[in-house]
Structure 1
Amino acid sequence: MSTATQPGFLTLLELPAPETLTATQLGGAHCVWCATELHGDTAVDLEPRHDHIKGVPGRWCPRGCRRCTLKPLLALVQVHPGICEQCTDDASLCETRRALRTLARELRR
């Protein structure tokens, strides 16, 4: 999966709360939404996060399957222009918007 796009843009995606996830979901072996086992060619790396997990500060590495990642990604594509100063000024110059749309196209294939 190519995510050679702007680093950090996937941290904008709404994910389940870490304390609701299993160890395999926190580690990226299973999808954070549907718990399907993931492999290199089926996983979308959702970028490492730093959160409290069961009350302890920690780092986790969420990944999602293509199907589950597409839904919140499309929702973010829709709301992003309303929360982005660059999109308000000139959406064609927004790297985050471009990265979100590129990944959405890749996931639809």
Structure 2
Amino acid sequence: MTATDTRPPVDVPAGLLPSLQFPDLGTLPDERGRGAACLWGGEPLSIATALDLGEHPHEGTTLFLRGCRVCTLRAALAAHKAHPGMCEQCTDDPSICEIRRGLRRLALELRR
């Protein structure tokens, strides 16, 4: 993705954030912890290319995590695949699990 990307920004629902696997927050370089670089890949981000992953209190400070579209898509797909093994609702009927459906919607939106 480039800084001239004209795709509309994607809103990552706060309810899905716990499902996304973040790297160890204690070992993040400063630019990733303050949202200047992608949480996962470390690529520099701009307002146009960054996806907000929320504020996260960590060891007396607040991290402002952001991700690029490609890495956030990878994280959403991995969470979608792993979720059924951790969810009682998915064991019974995965088609009505709101988290799994939300992860799928997020991945589809990120692919646009």
Compute the TM-score of the two structures, normalised by the length of structure 1: 0.80
Map residues 31-46 of structure 1 onto 2, 5 A cutoff: 31-46=38-53
Larger mean Cα displacement after TM superposition, 43-52 or 30-39: 43-52
In structure 1, what is the equivalent of residue 54 of structure 2?
47
Structure 1 spans left out of the alignment, 5+ residues: none
Cα distance, 1:65 vs. partner? 0.6
Q: How many residues align?
A: 104
Q: Select the residue among 75, 81, 85 that pairs with 1:82.
A: 85
Partner SS, residue 54 of structure 2: coil
1:4 Cα deviation from its structure 2 partner: 6.4
Aligned 1:1-109 pairs, distance under 5 A:
1-3=9-11, 5=13, 7-52=14-59, 57-109=60-112
Taking the aligned partners of 2:41 and 2:77, their CA distance within structure 1 comes to: 17
Deviations for 1:26-60, whole angstroms, at most 9, x for unmatched residues? 111211122222123311222222233xxxx3321
Structure-1 separation of matches of 2:22 and 2:95: 27
Could you give the per-residue CA deviations for residues 78-107 of structure 1, whole angstroms, max 9, x where no partner exists?
Answer: 010111122222222221111111111122
Indicate conservation of the 8 Å contact 1:11/1:47, yes or no.
no
Question: RMSD across aligned C-alpha pairs, in angstroms?
Answer: 1.9
Residues 44 and 63 of structure 1 are in contact (CA less than 8 Å); yes or no, is this contact kept in structure 2?
Answer: yes
Percent identity over the alignment is 45
Give the TM-score taking structure 2 as reference length: 0.78
Structure 2: gaps (5+ residues)? 1-8
